[in-house]
Structure 1
Amino acid sequence: MPAAKSDSPGRVRRIARLIFRVCLFGGLAAIATLVVAVLVTMASLPSFADMMQKPNGQTVRVHASDGSLLLSLGPSYGDWLPYDRIPAEMRNAIVAVEDRRFYSHPGVDPIGVARMFYVAKRLHDEGRRLQGGSTITQQIARNIFLSSKYSYGRKIREAILALAMERKFSKAQILELYLNRVYFGGGAYGIDAASRKFFGHPGDKLNLAEAAIIAGLVKAPSHYSPSADAQAARDRASVVLDVMVDAGTLTPAQAKGVNLDSVTFAPEPKQNSVRYFTDWALSQLDTIVDEQAAPLDVWTTLDKRMQDAADASIRQNTPKDLQGALVSMENDGAVRAMVGGTDYVTSIYNRATQAQRQPGSAFKLFVYLSALEAGVKPGDPVVDEPITIDNWSPRNSSRRFLGPIDVRTAFAFSINTVAAKIGQQVGFDSVADMAHRFGITTQINTHPSMVLGTSDVRLIELTRAFAAISANGNAVTPYGILKVSTTDGTVIYQREAVQPRVLVAPFVAAEMTDLLQTAVNVGTARAAQIGRPVAGKTGTTSSNKDGWFLGFSSGLTTGVWMGRDDAKPIPGLQGGRNPAQAFSAFMRVALQTRPAEKFATDPTLPEWQLEPDDEAYFGNPDQGFGGDGAPAPEAQDEVTGEVPDVQPAPGDVPPPADTPAAPPRAETPAEPQLDQRWLDNVLRDQKRPPQSPPRGN
């Protein structure tokens, strides 16, 4: 037994030596492995020149139809600033706040790692995850070579890369890389881009206060961005100055002398309505190209002159506290202008492409298209009288009935009872099918009241339907992207012409144009006149919740909607007022460079509206009419709502200031007064055989 006791200390020493040897050889093996990994990584690192060219993310430059730049999305890179051009204040600030021992550690900070493990255990006990702890070298390694997904494996690779970079590049080069590549928020990468964005001058002109603000952004770019919260950016900069004092790169007196309140931030560029178009167009980019990394140039259909006119027409004609939207397209579907709201900054919701609203009488386009396709002619006689269909009894806004009239008159004055009769005759399913045939993708109900536009639609889809009539009955698919290329000019997408697809026979489209033109000339849409042939239709929903006007002229189709996002009633809102005025204001500018074109069919007016010559009918295209006079009443447009007075509603806004002023308005045929004497005249006229309009080609 005594011998066993004497052997006990020897056994412990042998075990201790064994453990020591295992740890020693294990540590040496680990160090050797690390050294090999660092050396291999160092050999595979690109050159400093290649590192300078390494981009972060994809930049997309969007061009208008004339090739001019509309906007650039994605990362923004300023000029590359060499180390000696970076202000010392900027270098000192970023080192103090991001990596105080930058000049002394080998790429990984042992003290920082020890502190990281200590904090990690405490956070783990609290159920939280460790954030931060990386040196400047580790951050640049992660930004260039790795992803931001957190994992222990990524942290190990990040450390090896940092050690390799420190072996291959100098501290000055690493700091230069960092300050020209790190993200500072607002899409700005590098101090030059950040300086230009936030202060409006190059990065080599930064002073101490500005450097402190930029250095403070790295921790949380979105939270401390001057664009989002200027005071938060100043408060964070004050912390940076205190850290610089603690690090010894700034004296207390110098820090105290910095007046952060005097720093002037560059104003944010105004996000105008073009962003509604670019948001819509670029949402289709992933479906036409596969490139996800290389910078791209996207060439669009947008016409800047038309877009400016569209923005002005919506801003100036939309009543206060309402929203307005406009979309305008060519007969082939090329979208030339798009406005999704009165202010993109306050609301990025695109009411031209996303909002679904009831179209009111604008939906009668599909009712009358179904009738024309079934053989009804614009001059056919109809009777405006009370009617009940499945316990539903539509009424006219005038609360009166005209008796015997013709189809053209019923459409021009948007008479609801006649629309209901026609819908019943052709079948409500046929009307719904016609709407879907013309590009309406929302659900259409088939209740009798559907003829008055009780199903929700999108403005862009209803506009494409009217564009199909302008295109002689051929289908129109809206598009915004013409070409996509890389920055070296390599074209990776080019839109090809689409073969025409006939929706209705040309003569049906011509007869529909006849009806639409009559509505503008003498009916509910007279405020949309622009001094050249126009075809269009108004729409106003019950309780005046929505106002619409859609029409076309000289190959350009434009749709306008106005209303409230919460769909509350709006007293006085009617399609024949503000929406039609906005259409007129826009089209006068948009069509300035185009010759006036007659439609494929010469419209025939109701007999009591015939004029002795074409000039009285169309007006002189060079002089225009209707823009500065009183808006036309929407005499028979909708289900409910009173017949409006012909004077402008309070708050109606005149056409844009930059729209050419219209000379004195040409004489327009008097509006028929819906009194007994006028009705007697109509009844007397009906005793004569009805005259059908000439058929279009």
Structure 2
Amino acid sequence: MASNASSPIRRTFATLLKIGLYGFIAALIALVVAVTVAMNSLPSYQELVRRDDLGQMIRVRAADGSVIVSLGPSFGQWLRYEEIPPIMRNAMVAVEDRRFRMHPGVDALGIARAVTVRVERGRWVQGGSTITQQLARNIFLTNSRTFGRKIREGILALALERRFSKNQILELYLNRVYFGGGAYGIDAASRRFFGHSAKTLDLSEAAIIAGLVKAPSNYSPTADAEAAKGRARVVIDLMRRNGSITAVEAAAAEPAAVKLIPSPRQNSVRYFTDWALPQLDTMIDETVEPIDVWTTLDPRMQRLADTAINAATPRGAQGALVALDRDGAVRAMVGGRDYVTSLYNRATQATRQPGSAFKLFVYLAALEAGHKPDETIVDEPVTIDGWSPRNSNRTFSGPVTIREAFARSINTISAKLGQEVGFRTVADMAQRFGITTKVNTQPSMVLGTSDVRLLDMTRAFAAVARRGVAVVPYGITKVTTADGTMLYSHEDDESRVLVAPWVAAQMTDLLQTAVLTGTGRAAHIGRPVAGKTGTTSSNRDGWFIGFSSGLTTGVWMGRDNATPIPGLQGGRAPAQAFNNFMTQAVANRPAENFEVQVTLPDWQVEPDAEAWYGSPDGMMVDPDGNPLPARNPGAPPFEDPVASAPGRDGGPRDGARDGGVRDPADEPERLDEEWLDRAINRNREPVPERRPRPPADRTEL
């Protein structure tokens, strides 16, 4: 009976055994097919050496050629297997795959050991991946922790072992694996952490590098130097146990004594690179080959700007500065007090009210409409559509020149000019000069109630300094490949004229007066400076923007949440920061006097004898503009037709009465504004007599 009972069990067992055997054979066949297919689809060894799949390396250079930032993967020299120090090869094998020379790409014992530990501890503590599997994952797969990815990883590892030798696989691995700090490969890691080629690595250095593969972010010397050195001691002990080194060599190694290169501080230069580098997408198509980006940044000016902002910005506030050369080249850019704690670039991203700095566009529109700096306007109460601006000193000064009104930042005069030329005209002027944010056309806009960016405002002032020619800020001068092939080169465009040269010259006159006698006196640096302050209500924002010696600099200060800052005014901390920066920034440049007097067109020139009675080519005309007959060469000098015209009593104007004594009534009429009024029947309103006024409070709104 027992024999009969066991017979079905034996048959069932035999059936299951056959199924298992057939399944194993089928799986083996499938594995062989999969490995064969994978092996035939693998790239060649030379294609794997290129490392194009790791991303693009970008070296950003300053104007002097020095490298200020390296972005993307960092590649060192590709080292052939024979060039890699044996101590480095042994260290990597000891810590990552001590059975590397024995398995076919997948280590069954390693997998079994990892599964056993998983069962014992309830979680994955160690992986069973070989060096070959890690290479397959790094090149072809992702780091996702899925069973399917693990199967593909194993198949690719077996294919790699069939296609390449053990030495080639180790060479690929050591030149491609990521070691942290942006470094791919042992040579890049050695140069990044120790400052020399991987060809000269000693035992302690090799142990530090080998220990990074397990967790580059945790053990990288750039993240935690002590953790990296501690991990190196573990690697050295493993090498001793595996027989790679002797006990004496292990005892002599001192990872703690290895000198590491400090990681460069992420300072304010990154504000500039974060702004400039995204522009590469519109300049070049190269996205694989390593490139060098040559920029306009002046390292010395950048340090000066960083120091000036941190020294002058009030406690609890932020500051920003941007400096443009005469063609728009960005020489310095600071977007905040500390890039590490705040990546927000307040020079290019923040939009804030500019206060009276916006009056630049009001006065540009007025000057373009025909107003002159010496023209007189009455400072008096004004109401526009229910809005009544008031001056910061709460008083009115009566008749003042446009120059004085701008220098003292008188709000009522700005309101009058804005109403006269049109608020839409002022907004158009702002946008013409490069303001990219929306500009409202409410009457109060003349006092700077529209949000703007510091870079845009600085660009506008730079265009005035350039005599009305548009300035486009740029940060990249050229882009080249690693071998020097030119991919992009910047070209300056001077063809776009925003305002006539005489308008820019008159505006410069006003801006210079604002620094010499007005609200911007703190910005004076001992050479010609033109600029304007700006302060918003409740001291939420402080601005100073100005130019000297071909350099235009804009400064903004305030809090990110726009809360008031007691005592913050454009003429104080921002003007002081401008002063501190510009004093040294332009020290090596020759001082330049401003061109505030330029030749005006005929319709702008005051009438004189030549304009009314003659022309530069010598042709004579009568008082009605009709040409006079040409004189004979021997004729007496030409007589002024007005001077020789009959006098009031019918006698000659230049004749003598009563024995040659001239009557004042017989003097020639002066060709002045009064004469012109009579000539064209123009009536002028009498200019009010200027009244004495109390000393002005020069603080602006």
Q: TM-score under structure 2 normalisation? A: 0.74
Equivalence for 1:349: 344
Task: Give the aligned CA root-mean-square deviation in angstroms.
Answer: 3.9
1-side partners of 2:9 and 2:305: how far apart?
94
Which of residues 413, 421, 424 in structure 1 aligns to 2:419? Answer: 424
Cα contact 1:550–1:560 (8 A) shared by 2: yes
Equivalence for 1:30: 30
Instruction: Give, in angstroms, the shift of residue 405 of structure 1.
Output: 1.0
Of residues 324-333 and 198-207 in structure 1, the stretch that sits farther from structure 2 once superposed is 198-207
- Residue deviations 1:633-683 (CA, integer Å, cap 9, x gap): xxxxxxxxxxxxxxxxxxxxxxxxxxxxxxxxxxxxxxxxxxxxxxxxx98
User: For residues 111 and 528 of structure 1, do their structure 2 counterparts lie closer, same or farther at Cα, with a shift above 3 Å needed?
Assistant: same
Question: Is residue 63 of structure 1 aligned with residue 58 of structure 2?
Answer: no
1-side partners of 2:523 and 2:452: how far apart?
22
Instruction: Give, in angstroms, the shift of residue 5 of structure 1.
Output: 12
2-side partners of 1:89 and 1:12: how far apart?
56
Instruction: Give, in angstroms, the shift of residue 361 of structure 1.
Output: 1.0
2-side partners of 1:148 and 1:312: how far apart?
44
User: For residues 89 and 366 of structure 1, do their structure 2 counterparts lie closer, same or farther at Cα, with a shift above 3 Å needed?
Assistant: same
Which of residues 493, 507, 510 in structure 2 aligns to 1:512? Answer: 507
Amino acid in structure 2 at the alignment position of 1:527: A
Question: Is residue 46 of structure 1 aligned with residue 45 of structure 2?
Answer: yes
- Residue deviations 1:310-358 (CA, integer Å, cap 9, x gap): 3343344444554332212234322222222233344332221122222
Equivalence for 2:392: 397
- Residue deviations 1:262-304 (CA, integer Å, cap 9, x gap): 6654322233432222221102112222211111111222233
Where do 5+ consecutive residues of structure 1 fail to align?
604-681, 688-697
- Residue deviations 1:499-521 (CA, integer Å, cap 9, x gap): 62233333332222221121122
Which of residues 478, 485, 489 in structure 2 aligns to 1:483? Answer: 478
Question: Is residue 547 of structure 1 aligned with residue 545 of structure 2?
Answer: no
Instruction: Give, in angstroms, the shift of residue 53 of structure 1.
Output: 4.4
Amino acid in structure 1 at the alignment position of 2:45: P
For 1:151-550, what aligned pairs fall within 5 Å after superposition? Answer: 155-200=150-195, 202-203=197-198, 210-233=205-228, 236=231, 264-498=259-493, 500-550=495-545
1-side partners of 2:253 and 2:475: how far apart?
50
Cα contact 2:35–2:156 (8 A) shared by 1: no
1-side partners of 2:573 and 2:390: how far apart?
24
Instruction: Give, in angstroms, the shift of residue 147 of structure 1.
Output: 5.2
User: How many aligned positions are there?
Assistant: 600
Of residues 114-123 and 386-395 in structure 1, the stretch that sits farther from structure 2 once superposed is 114-123
Instruction: Give, in angstroms, the shift of residue 97 of structure 1.
Output: 3.6
Instruction: Give, in angstroms, the shift of residue 466 of structure 1.
Output: 1.0
Cα contact 1:209–1:237 (8 A) shared by 2: yes
Instruction: Give, in angstroms, the shift of residue 170 of structure 1.
Output: 3.8
Where do 5+ consecutive residues of structure 2 fail to align?
599-686, 693-701
Equivalence for 2:594: 599
Amino acid in structure 1 at the alignment position of 2:51: K
Instruction: Give, in angstroms, the shift of residue 155 of structure 1.
Output: 4.6
Equivalence for 2:75: 77
1-side partners of 2:125 and 2:487: how far apart?
43
SS in 2 for 1:61: strand
Amino acid in structure 2 at the alignment position of 1:183: Y
Cα contact 2:57–2:71 (8 A) shared by 1: yes
Question: Is residue 109 of structure 1 aligned with residue 107 of structure 2?
Answer: yes
1-side partners of 2:290 and 2:74: how far apart?
11
User: For residues 21 and 527 of structure 1, do their structure 2 counterparts lie closer, same or farther at Cα, with a shift above 3 Å needed?
Assistant: closer
2-side partners of 1:149 and 1:28: how far apart?
26
Equivalence for 1:652: none
Cα contact 1:34–1:160 (8 A) shared by 2: yes
User: For residues 307 and 112 of structure 1, do their structure 2 counterparts lie closer, same or farther at Cα, with a shift above 3 Å needed?
Assistant: same
Cα contact 1:327–1:339 (8 A) shared by 2: yes
- Residue deviations 1:342-388 (CA, integer Å, cap 9, x gap): 33344332221122222111111122222223333322222223334
Instruction: Give, in angstroms, the shift of residue 185 of structure 1.
Output: 0.9
2-side partners of 1:298 and 1:476: how far apart?
22
Cα contact 2:111–2:127 (8 A) shared by 1: no
Of residues 223-232 and 558-567 in structure 1, the stretch that sits farther from structure 2 once superposed is 223-232
1-side partners of 2:446 and 2:118: how far apart?
67
- Residue deviations 1:191-245 (CA, integer Å, cap 9, x gap): 3332343344554565655544433332332233332334554565566567667
SS in 1 for 2:497: coil
Cα contact 2:39–2:163 (8 A) shared by 1: no
1-side partners of 2:466 and 2:276: how far apart?
22
User: For residues 446 and 222 of structure 1, do their structure 2 counterparts lie closer, same or farther at Cα, with a shift above 3 Å needed?
Assistant: farther
Equivalence for 2:645: none
SS in 1 for 2:266: coil
Instruction: Give, in angstroms, the shift of residue 477 of structure 1.
Output: 1.8
For 1:665-676, what aligned pairs fall within 5 Å after superposition? Answer: none
Instruction: Give, in angstroms, the shift of residue 247 of structure 1.
Output: 6.3
Equivalence for 2:677: none
2-side partners of 1:54 and 1:181: how far apart?
7
2-side partners of 1:461 and 1:131: how far apart?
56
Amino acid in structure 2 at the alignment position of 1:29: I
Equivalence for 2:635: none
2-side partners of 1:475 and 1:256: how far apart?
69
2-side partners of 1:201 and 1:6: how far apart?
74
- Residue deviations 1:42-93 (CA, integer Å, cap 9, x gap): 7x5325xx64443532111222334443332222233445556656664444
User: For residues 587 and 463 of structure 1, do their structure 2 counterparts lie closer, same or farther at Cα, with a shift above 3 Å needed?
Assistant: same
Equivalence for 2:674: none
Q: TM-score under structure 1 normalisation? A: 0.75
1-side partners of 2:573 and 2:106: how far apart?
66
Instruction: Give, in angstroms, the shift of residue 12 of structure 1.
Output: 6.7
Instruction: Give, in angstroms, the shift of residue 417 of structure 1.
Output: 2.3
User: For residues 39 and 573 of structure 1, do their structure 2 counterparts lie closer, same or farther at Cα, with a shift above 3 Å needed?
Assistant: closer
